[in-house]
Amino acid sequence: MRPRRARRAQGTTPWILSLLLLSLPLAACHKESPEAVETAEAVPVTVATARSGPIRAVIAATGQVKPAAGAELLVMPPQEARIAALPKGVGDRVRRGEILVRFEIPSLDADAAARRSDLARGQAQLAAARQNVARLSGLFQRGIAARREVEDAQRDLAQAEATVTEARSATAAAGRLAGREVVRAPFDGVVASRSHQVGDLVDPSSPEPLLRVIDPSRLQVEAAVPTGDLGRIAVGSPARVRGAAFPDETARVAARPATVDPATGTALALLAFDSPTRRPAGLAVEVEIYGEERPAAVLVPAEALVQEGPESFVFTVDGQKKAHRRQVEVGVTANGQAEILSGVQAGEAVVVRGQTALPDGALVEMAEPAP
């Protein structure tokens, strides 16, 4: 009995060995792939800590230095005239009341003289009419003159008074027009431009003024603000004016835009300098207008943001050094910082470099950003 069992066992050995050999490839198929091993490795990233701090919007705009209202005078002739005197040149300072230009306008002089002559005749007729009324009234009281004569004399007096009133108005108007032959400076200022010389014949239809005088102490900036930023500025908002090799200067919004230019998508805001500027009128400048400050905002470096269309995301890192993709709502972005309205809290670690194509839940190796 025993020898027979031994032979049966020996006969089954090759079959078992074959079965074991066939199972080896199947076991090899279940071995972990190299890709899975790579994704399990820590991904090097740079992190920063979300913090609480102040931030305010900074609206960048371009602008131009221009005179404020009432700080610019454009001198034009009242009608065709010849320049008799032009004492000031470009860059000359002028004082209030100084003569800027004197015109020769013969027609104005002749008209003024004619009006004065008409007034003199009218006044003489008025004096005669008054004397006549007084004389006839006395005669009428003595029964020498008729009532009708007195009434006719009174009508002549009324007509003479009306004529004198009209002549006085005409004379005053002619005098005002003739007075425009001399133009005086209405404020202290500087001659910014001059287009003619003494002796030139000038016409009021010319598009170029004879003289342009500005008050350099009353200059402002017209800044072209993008329409999307209009809601962030208000009258009194602080601003900084830069550019053209001049030192930076502080200013404030003096007036918000009244209209929008649909062609450029901008609107003009007026900025008043805090102190008189040395920048000349017409100079192009760069402007930063500061919005309302938010003193306790949650801030992260702006480079931590990942944009996907209109949505924003950041990657946070937990205590097990795993990265988690979070959607966030972004508020103000300024000076390299972004305000997070929701999605991240102060004190959390966020990835600022290395987040491109970072899988959600990946193990990371963290490094602090360079100062």
Give residue 111's pLDDT: 75
User: Which residue(s) pair with 58 in the sheet?
Assistant: 290
Total residue count of the chain as it appears in this document:
371
Residue 320 half-sphere exposure toward CB, CA atoms < 13 A: 6
User: Which CATH number fits the domain that encloses residue 239?
Assistant: 2.40.30.170
User: Is the predicted pLDDT of residue 5 greater than 80, yes or no?
Assistant: no
DSSP state of 343: S
Q: What percent of the chain stands above pLDDT 70?
A: 88
Q: 176-223 pLDDT, tens per residue?
A: 777 778 999 999 999 999 999 999 999 988 889 999 999 999 999 999
Residues 113-126: pLDDT tens digits? Answer: 888 888 899 899 98
Residue 24 in domain: no
Q: Is residue 7 in some structural domain?
A: no
Over pLDDT 90: what percentage of the chain? 59
Give the tens place of pLDDT for each residue, 229-287. Answer: 888 889 999 999 998 789 999 999 999 998 999 999 999 999 999 999 999 999 999 99
Q: At what angle do helices 106-141 and 147-179 cross, to 10 degrees?
A: 160
Residues 336 and 248 in one domain: no
Asked if residue 362 and residue 322 are part of one domain, the reply reads yes
Answer yes or no: do 202 and 228 share one domain: no
Q: Is residue 3 part of a domain?
A: no
> Tell me, what's the pLDDT at 29?
39
The pLDDT confidence band at residue 153, using thresholds 50, 70 and 90, is: confident
Q: How far apart are the first and last CA of the chain?
A: 88
Structure tokens at 190: 């500087």
If we measure between CA atoms, which residue out of 73, 82, 85, 76 comes closest to residue 108? 82
Task: Indicate if 85 and 210 belong to the same structural domain.
Answer: yes
CATH number of domain containing 146 = 1.10.287.470
- Quote the pLDDT of residue 3: 44
Q: Are residues 169 and 274 in the same domain?
A: no
| pLDDT at residue 250, as a whole number | 96
Gap between the Cα atoms of 189 and 68, Å rounded: 13
Last residue of a domain, one of 154, 179, 204: 179
Same domain membership, residue 263 and residue 286 = yes
Most confident of 9-18, 24-33, 96-105: 96-105
Could you list the residue range(s) of the whole structural domain that residue 114 is in? 106-179
**Is residue 141 one of the residues assigned to a domain?**
yes
Residue 4 covered by a domain: no
Answer yes or no: are the C-beta atoms of 313 and 306 closer than 8 Å.
Answer: yes
Residue 185 belongs to a domain? yes
**3-class DSSP state for residue 143?**
coil
Are residues 94 and 194 both part of a single domain?
yes
Question: Are 313 and 327 in contact, with CB atoms under 8 Å apart?
Answer: yes
- The mean-pLDDT minimum among 26-40, 167-181, 283-297, 348-362 falls in 26-40
Domains: count for the chain: 4
Indicate whether 317 belongs to any domain: yes
Of the residues 293, 309, 341, the one at which a domain ends:
293
Amino acid occupying residue 77: P
The answer on 339 and 318 residing in a single domain is yes
In a domain, 123, yes or no: yes
Query: Same domain, yes or no, for 187 and 287?
Result: no
Domain containing 97 — which CATH number? 2.40.50.100
- In this structure, the answer to whether residues 320 and 360 fall within a common structural domain is yes
